[in-house]
């Protein structure tokens, strides 16, 4: 998996494309939360749920269907509170949540991502896996493995997200009326 901090990079990167409104900060926070929520499935390890199980790590919580439903419900809630464009919110929040599985599928470890769960528990990786997988063990992470993980995440996630963020700012400047 990517680190919890890197999963939020997509929400930050695409936030510059959002409509400026009093709800911008709340929408960004919800996007960041949705980008990390799939990893709550690690709690299953405490209850003896095996990694490869439907409810195991990188299973149902990482699926496209779960992202579609949770981002839709979140978008509806924000829309109800602030009367913003429901479909734009859903697109942004959906990208935030789906990015979690996509980033994990770019890592070089684990059993893959169950994108099609609950219809199939088949696990997938992308053919190109440039991101070093982060250990779930914080001691190992801080004893040296973490530097390599952070280096690959900076190159393959943070840098492209910074570019997307700047592109959004430029777009808004050029299209300003």
Write down the domain spans for the chain: 4-174
CA distances from 146 to 40, 74, 128, 139, 149 (A): 21, 32, 21, 10, 5
User: In whole angstroms, what is the distance from residue 136 CA to residue 3 CA?
Assistant: 9
Considering only residues 176 and 40, tell me which one the structure prediction assigns the higher pLDDT: 40
**DSSP for 33-69, written as a single string:** HHHHGGGGGGHHHHTT--TTSTTSTTSGGGSHHHHHH
User: In whole angstroms, what is the distance from residue 70 CA to residue 136 CA?
Assistant: 25
Predicted local confidence at residue 1, as pLDDT: 64
Give the distance from CA 101 to its chain's centroid.
7
pTM reported for the whole predicted model:
0.93
Joined together, the tokens standing for residue 10 give 């997509």
User: In whole angstroms, what is the distance from residue 58 CA to residue 155 CA?
Assistant: 23
Predicted local confidence at residue 177, as pLDDT: 62
User: In whole angstroms, what is the distance from residue 150 CA to residue 155 CA?
Assistant: 9
State yes or no: pLDDT of 140 exceeds 90. no
Predicted local confidence at residue 148, as pLDDT: 87
Q: Return contacts of 50-56, CB within 8 angstroms, 24+ apart.
A: 51/110, 51/111, 52/111, 52/121, 52/123, 53/121, 54/114, 54/117, 54/118, 54/121
State yes or no: pLDDT of 8 exceeds 90. yes
Q: Which of these, 123, 149, 117, 124, lies nearest to 136 by C-alpha position?
A: 149
């Amino acid at each position: 998996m990517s680190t919890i901090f890197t999963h939020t990079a997509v929400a930050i990167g695409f936030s510059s494309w959002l409509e400026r409104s009093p709800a911008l900060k709340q929408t960004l926070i919800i996007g960041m939360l949705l980008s990390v929520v799939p990893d709550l499935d690690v709690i299953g390890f405490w209850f003896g749920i095996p990694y490869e199980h439907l409810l195991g790590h990188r299973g149902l919580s990482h699926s496209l269907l779960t992202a579609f439903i949770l981002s839709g419900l979140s978008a509806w809630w924000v829309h109800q509170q602030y009367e913003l464009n429901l479909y734009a919110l859903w697109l942004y929040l959906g990208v935030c949540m789906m990015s979690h599985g996509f980033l994990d599928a770019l890592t070089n470890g684990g059993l893959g991502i169950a994108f099609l769960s609950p219809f199939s528990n088949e696990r997938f990786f992308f053919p190109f896996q440039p991101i070093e997988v982060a250990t779930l063990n914080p001691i190992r992470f801080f004893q040296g493995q973490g530097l390599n993980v952070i280096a690959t995440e900076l190159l393959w996630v943070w840098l492209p997200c910074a570019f997307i963020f700047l592109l959004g700012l430029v777009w808004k400047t050029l299209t300003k009326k």
